[in-house]
Structure 1
């Protein structure tokens, strides 16, 4: 049975996208900004990967970005205060906040921010 090894995303502006994910705390080397592909290994060996639109078109010349969002990443934080701090940090860097922090009925403090490519990123912590 295959196992999920990585989640890949296509970035309109790779340096801006990587800066967003660095602001979330991912250790992405600075030299990745100039590359056509970047990736970072997450806890447990899973990888998060980004390709430029030009990279995708290099093997799929007819590729077009489709409207709408087909995925959301979810990042677990250590505390509700960390969720709030990350939201304010990203807002201060000019990133959109889709849903302000709130206490969900299922026992988590939750917020959704938006990366430079329009993808939602959920931040949450147990209450």
Structure 2
């Protein structure tokens, strides 16, 4: 038997707000999904990103509680260029989402920033710096 990584699942307190955030990052999620209890989208490489409403998770696992004290997962989006990182960070902040770390030049050769999705998950925005090879 062969197993293959297929999906990342997250819990959303407010599905419409969460999906609006990810649409802002370029994911193609229909507006009709805002009313669903479970939503998934397939990314260009074939991996699925999925969300379940907190109420749906609690209906399957009554002992479930949201994590506290820090993040346990971070998603990362390649913005194509250092200017793309700065621009997307500004766009996300202008749409009333929270920034966690403003854009900066990381020592590993990338322009990097971190924003928080509506549920507090870290979402990294990055791009290779000119004349720097990441490896």
Could you tell me the TM-score, scaled by structure 2's length?
A: 0.91
Structure 1 residue runs of 5 or longer lacking an equivalent are: none
Query: How many Å separate the matches in 2 of 1:63 and 1:97?
Result: 27
Tell whether the 8 Å contact from 2:43 to 2:49 is kept in structure 1 after alignment: yes
How far is the alpha carbon of 1:61 from its aligned partner?
A: 1.7
CA deviation vs aligned residue, 1:26-65 (integer Å, no higher than 9, x gap): 1111011000011111011101000001111121122111
Which runs of 5 or more residues in structure 2 are unaligned? 130-135
Return the match for 2:110 from 96, 104, 108.
108
Structure 1 length as normaliser, TM-score?
0.96
- How many residue pairs align between the two structures? 127
Query: Is residue 79–residue 88 contact of structure 2 (8 Å, CA) maintained in 1?
Result: no
User: Which residue of structure 1 lines up, in the alignment, with residue 47 of structure 2?
Assistant: 46
Rounded Cα–Cα distance in structure 1 between residues aligned with 2:40 and 2:83: 28
Q: Which has the larger radius of gyration?
A: 2
Runs of 4+ with >6 A deviation:
none
Tell me the C-alpha RMSD between the 2 structures.
0.9
Distance 1:59 1:119 in 2: 22
